[in-house]
Amino acid sequence: MTSISQLTEEERNFTKFVLLNFKVSPDIARRFFDGVIRPTQLAKIVNSNIHAIINLQKSKRINVTQLKILRDVPGTVWPSYLPPMPMGTKATSSKDFDISLMVCLLRNLGGLLTPSNGWDHLPHPNDMLPGAHLATLKWYRNQLAHATVTSMDTHEFTDKWVCVEKALTSLNNGQRPHEVTDILDLDLDGEIAKTVANAEMNQIKKEYLDCEKEKEQIESDFSFYREGNLPKNIAETNATLLDAWRIEDNSFYETNGSKLVYAKVKDFSCILVISNSGLGKTATIRHIALKLLSEGFEIISVESPEDIIKYKTKQNQVFLIDDVLGKYGLSPTLLEKWERINEKLTRCLGSELGSNKVLCTLRLQIALNTRFTNASTILNQVIVNLEEGSNALSKEEKRKILLKHLNRSDKEHEMKPEDIEIMSQTKYAFPLLCKLVSTNEERFRNRITFFREPISLLKEELNKMSNENKSLYCSLVLCMLYNGTLKRSIFDFDSPECDEKIYKIMQNCGLQRNTSKKELGDSVLCAIGSYFTQESDNIRFIHDALEETVGRHFCLINPKVMFSECDLLFIRDRVRVRSDTNGNEKDENIVIIQEDELDKDHLRPLYDRLFKELKSGRFSGLLMSHLFKNRSFVRIFGTIIDNNGRMLVHTLSMKVCSERLQRDQSIFEKAVEFLSSNRDQSAVGRKVKEIFLSNKEFQDNSDAISRVVEAKWSRSTLIYWIIAFGCYEFFHYIWNKITTIERKWLLTSDILHQPFVKSFFPLAVLGGSIDIVTELISSGADVNCFSEIWETSYV
């Protein structure tokens, strides 16, 4: 570039455009960012999305410098496996964020809708979404950062300036930023302008150098991975887990079941171990993994099937996934993931025969779910049931398991032969009971009663504890509310991010107001071994069964706090309404609500929580709940919400995130073929039922759920989700609340935008509820609508 006093018109244009993008755009984007993620809430939002942010850095969508800036935000708490931050680092805020970081956080944490052309391309001129304006700023910033020409003719300058100015004005609440005018009128021949321009060019150079450092880091990491190594942070986390597993494995006794798993793993790449809770599924796959470790395998504990592909290296590896499709009930979303990438997994595991293994666990009731048994994944290929035939624990195996646990705690000599005989007759969760009784003096003293009635004794234990050791009881409740895992750091004085919840639970557990977090943290540490295990900075329940028992106990004592603070999964999987159809609930840890109590005040927090979830667009957890299958519950829920002026029907317009994916829907033609020629209600009902029951594709509603999960926003509203999940009672309530005109609009709205597409009724057929299909037909649904090619290409 020539000296600033000799700029040509084209160079002036380029300089002004640089100033607009590197001086004005970051400030306006930051104002918008602070409006979505307020500075006072920044640390809280970062803390609640720590794992998502780390994954963004792993996938190189956030660079090392940007992650360091986020880690320096006051109040944020990061996993202990990350490298420690240097002492005396400067506190940061959104003022330190560049445009790419702000856009990345807004699109992944702020819930912004994706622009028409995606985030990495210049949006369509008619796309007026905030995300499109941010993508525009990001696009031109990146273009300038890589520019090799430092001039711009007047025509190009005008077009680009107008485009950026429009984006800035929209992000600035419709007001044209005064800085835009200042730069446009800037006299670039003066000394002040020269100083400003040079400063901006120096900033560009700094960002370029940062990019070069990041490039070097990426190349270093790539070289490290290419040599067949796991990412360092994953390797460090796994090393910590293995230390804890080795300690636990000291009390493992090899049974016929575990020997069968080990034999199968020699011949097959994926083994699924199933049984009821407490029978040693997790201990078995960890024991097998440790054996494979001694044979040269690398152990990687993962959470999803994508992680298997992501972390596969040239080494021999064994991947472990606990509760692979859900802890208490089948998760359609998780199963969908396995189905979707099954071919990739098969190729990945089969690329080097015998060098990659996958060991997973699943509760028996989930494994018997028709949706899973009809699935076609690598999980379905080799299944070992620890309760089946010779795999079930023999009396001799039980005796040796018990003695091994007691020997570890030096209690074996206190046992009488008749005690061992009686305790070995227990069928319920035997390995778990051995672990629990060997790590707690009171349980050991009451060992016979404990093995005969373990849940009852645990409940008595909690009753006593809630009155006599409130600190310990409070720590158990907190661990349960945080899904069975506590970070030790939350009890530190300088970690206030969880204080509101902690002090609320402390108060509701009856602790004195002057009780400190440190005292509570000490109670947690004292309970390691008897109630908790420790893995690095994580404190976990010894077993899920304890989490379930504590959850039910606290819910019965304080349902208002429980329903407002618990994880949604507890409501979805552990809360039922007592009716004639489920009056003999076998699980002692299920919370039962009597139908005649549904309108009581203590359940209002439950209704408020459910409405809050709906209002936030989180539909799947609710629609999988047993609660919404009960007509009385749905009616009272809807009535309470409507009576408080919150209008449940209006939630029909709420949107959820979606991804497009073309799927085969040819099965729908089978229903259309008959429905198009027959309007008789009874005949239609019989024929639809016949189609549903005679075809495997209709034995579950996975296709329908896939549609709404992956649909465009206009087809992902609550009413579409209700239909896809086949929630007839909820559908019936809402359908009868809306007007005839609103019904007709839902049934025909697609034709306004795409004449050949009507997805509402076909979705109901795929959803599998005969009652919903029948009611839609009686409301005038067009059974002649065709959905094969047009809908698939339109979703």
* Residue 654 falls inside a structural domain: no
Q: 3-state secondary structure string, 251-293? A: CCCCCHHHHHHHHHHHHCCEEEEEECCCCCHHHHHHHHHHHHH
- Shared domain for 384 and 480, answered yes or no, is no
Of the candidates 469, 422, 483, the residue with the CA atom closest to the CA atom of residue 437: 422
**533: exposed, middle or buried (Cβ count in 10 Å: 0-12, 13-18, 19+):** middle
- Shared domain for 179 and 80, answered yes or no, is yes
Q: Pick from 646, 680, 712: which residue ends a domain?
A: 646
* Residue 713 falls inside a structural domain: yes
- Shared domain for 246 and 302, answered yes or no, is yes
Please list the residues that pair with 487 across neighbouring strands: 538
Q: Can you give the residue range of the structural domain that contains 432? A: 395-452
- Shared domain for 615 and 684, answered yes or no, is no
* Residue 653 falls inside a structural domain: no
Q: To which residue do tokens 């090899």 refer?
A: 254
The angle subtended at Cα 555 by Cα 554 and Cα 559, nearest 5°, is 125
* pLDDT greater than 90 at residue 196: no
The angle subtended at Cα 629 by Cα 628 and Cα 634, nearest 5°, is 45
pLDDT for res 360: 96
- Shared domain for 579 and 435, answered yes or no, is no
pTM of this structure: 0.55
- Shared domain for 240 and 376, answered yes or no, is yes
**577: exposed, middle or buried (Cβ count in 10 Å: 0-12, 13-18, 19+):** buried
Q: 3-state secondary structure string, 1-51? A: CCCHHHCCHHHHHHHHHHHHHHHHHHHHHHHHHHHHCCHHHHHHHHHHCHH
Residues 658-705: tens digit of each pLDDT? 333 434 334 444 444 444 444 444 444 444 444 434 444 334 566 677
Q: Cα–Cα distances in Å, from 60 out to 66, 217, 233, 416?
A: 11, 11, 14, 61
- Shared domain for 23 and 127, answered yes or no, is yes
* Residue 652 falls inside a structural domain: no
* Residue 367 falls inside a structural domain: yes
Beta strands of 556-624 (E only): which ranges?
A: 575-578, 591-594
* Domain containing residue 283: CATH number: 3.40.50.300
Quick one: what percent of the chain has pLDDT higher than 90? Answer: 14
Mean pLDDT of 82-106: 81
Total tally of structural domains belonging to the chain: 6
Q: Pick from 557, 583, 601: which residue ends a domain?
A: 557
Of the candidates 265, 289, 366, the residue with the CA atom closest to the CA atom of residue 324: 366
* Residue 545 falls inside a structural domain: yes
* pLDDT greater than 60 at residue 222: no
Pairing assessment for the beta strands 356-363 and 317-321 based on DSSP bridges: parallel
- Shared domain for 51 and 195, answered yes or no, is yes
**Sign of the dihedral through C-alpha 638, 641, 642, 643:** positive
Residues 585-603: tens digit of each pLDDT? 556 778 888 888 888 888 8
Of the candidates 754, 745, 750, 755, the residue with the CA atom closest to the CA atom of residue 780: 745
* Residue 214 falls inside a structural domain: no
Cα–Cα distance, 762 to 766 (Å, whole number): 6
Q: 3-state secondary structure string, 473-521? A: HHHHHHHHHCCCEEEHHHHCCCCHHHHHHHHHHHHHCCCCCCCCHHHHH
Cα–Cα distance, 277 to 708 (Å, whole number): 33
pLDDT for res 663: 40
Cα–Cα distance, 509 to 647 (Å, whole number): 35
Mean pLDDT of 45-56: 84
* pLDDT greater than 50 at residue 645: yes
Q: Pick from 366, 391, 416: which residue ends a domain?
A: 391
Q: Are 762 and 787 in contact (CB under 8 A)?
A: yes
* pLDDT greater than 60 at residue 388: yes
pLDDT band at 633 (very low <50, low <70, confident <90, very high): very high
* pLDDT greater than 90 at residue 66: no
- Shared domain for 406 and 461, answered yes or no, is no
**126: exposed, middle or buried (Cβ count in 10 Å: 0-12, 13-18, 19+):** exposed
* Residue 735 falls inside a structural domain: yes
